[in-house]
């Protein structure tokens, strides 16, 4: 099943289910059909729309029936183009990100393959929707993009073994892990005498640094999350390439060093993951900072990322220093 998150006429975030011809609003479904023994499949509170509860497979079947029934009742889907996308997750209790998780991305930095995952965090302040601005804060000149597969937790995961970890996944989203490379401490982004922050919190966690796409795809519709193409582009707003769609990254989730089950095992051994929490699983090679010469996102540019089977998002870069 593919869910699409959008802003309704009251600017509230809501979602619908992708059907032929558009998106069937969640509220058009008969809630009686969505109630299973335990809590409902998806709470009406949008902040936990991704909290698949109880038996996810049964719940998905029920949801499919409810969609069929709504269509039989003559409920018409909303055309996709009429909807303003909202992030598919917007208030996760935790956003746990993985650094250095692709072999080609490690290689482009001349680093050894890590022996355990590198974790860092973002907060919900970083999340923006497809089309919303990424604001370059005062004090950095070196914004970069990172296309990533986002994994949304559907069932509490505490000390979960990798062999059963995927049972705790509600679905997948597309993310852009925007990064200030100078604050991160990347040499290629630093001038003489400049230093990074010593850790990544500001470089990764600034407001608007996590565009999240509107599409939420359940595991049934994304049977092999370890075989997805990941691509990104920069669309310069000025200069000789103005308006061109310039390819940046072109990788695959097959290149992950630590795969999704191992990541859930590693993280949940120390940090309990709750429904709605988001894992952002790392990025392949081709980011701007490791190019010769380095390339950074400038105000006026747009950054586009795409995860195969989920969708693409595009965000303008704006100057936040004024």
Binding site for Mg ion (CB under 5 A): 146, 177, 283
DSSP of 9-51 = TTS-EEEEEEETTEEEEGGGS-GGGG--SSS-SS-SSGGGTT-
Instruction: Provide, rounded to whole angstroms, the least separation between the CB of residue 144 and Mg ion.
Output: 10
Residue 296: CB minimum distance to Mg ion, A: 16
Report the residue number, 184 or 283, with the smaller CB distance to Mg ion: 283
Rounded Cα–Cα distance for residues 296 and 284 (Å): 17
Nearest Cα neighbor of 302 from 239, 203, 233, 248 is 233
Interacting residues of 32 by C-beta distance below 8 A, sequence separation 6+: none
Task: Report how far residue 270's alpha carbon sits from residue 90's, in angstroms, rounded to the nearest whole number.
Answer: 24
- Output 130 or 144, the one with its CB closest to Mg ion: 144
For the CB of residue 108, give the shortest distance to Mg ion in the complex, in Å.
Answer: 13
d(CA 260, CA 149): 10
Q: C-beta of 219: minimal distance to Mg ion in Å?
A: 22
φ, ψ for residue 128, nearest 5 deg:
-135, 165
Q: Which lies closer to Mg ion via its Cβ, residue 146 or residue 277? A: 146
Q: Smaller CB distance to Mg ion: residue 218 or 283?
A: 283
Nearer of residues 184 and 218 to Mg ion, judged by Cβ: 184
* Closest residue to Mg ion in the complex (CB): 177
Least distance from Mg ion to the Cβ atom of residue 81, Å? 31
């Amino acid at each position: 099943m593919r869910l699409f998150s959008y802003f309704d006429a009251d600017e509230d975030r809501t979602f619908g289910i992708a059907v032929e011809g558009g998106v069937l609003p969640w509220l058009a479904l008969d809630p009686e059909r969505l109630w299973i023994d335990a809590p409902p499949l998806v709470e009406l509170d949008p902040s936990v729309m991704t909290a698949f509860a109880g038996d996810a497979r049964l719940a998905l079947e029920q949801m499919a029936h409810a969609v069929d029934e709504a269509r039989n009742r003559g409920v018409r889907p909303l055309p996709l183009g009429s909807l303003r996308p909202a992030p598919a997750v917007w208030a996760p209790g935790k956003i746990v990100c993985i650094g250095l998780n692709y072999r080609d991305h490690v290689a482009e930095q001349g680093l050894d393959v890590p022996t355990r995952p590198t974790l860092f965090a973002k907060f919900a302040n970083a999340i923006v929707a497809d089309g919303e601005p990424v604001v370059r804060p005062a004090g950095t000149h070196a914004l970069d993009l990172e296309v990533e597969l986002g994994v949304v937790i559907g069932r509490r995961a505490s000390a979960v073994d990798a062999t059963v970890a995927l049972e705790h996944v509600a679905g997948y989203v597309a993310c852009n892990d925007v990064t200030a490379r100078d604050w991160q401490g990347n040499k290629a982004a630093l001038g003489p005498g400049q230093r990074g922050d010593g850790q990544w919190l500001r470089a990764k966690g600034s407001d608007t640094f996590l565009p999240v796409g509107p599409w939420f795809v359940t595991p049934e519709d994304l049977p092999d999350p370890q075989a997805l193409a990941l691509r990104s582009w920069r669309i310069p707003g000025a200069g000789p390439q103005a308006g061109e769609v310039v390819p940046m990254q072109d990788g695959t989730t097959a290149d992950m060093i630590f795969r999704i089950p191992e990541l859930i095992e590693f993280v949940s051994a120390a940090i309990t993951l709750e429904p709605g929490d988001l894992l952002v699983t790392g990025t392949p090679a081709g980011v701007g900072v490791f190019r010769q010469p380095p390339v950074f996102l400038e105000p006026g540019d747009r950054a586009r990322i795409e995860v195969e089977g989920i969708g693409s998002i595009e965000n303008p870069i704006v100057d936040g220093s004024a």
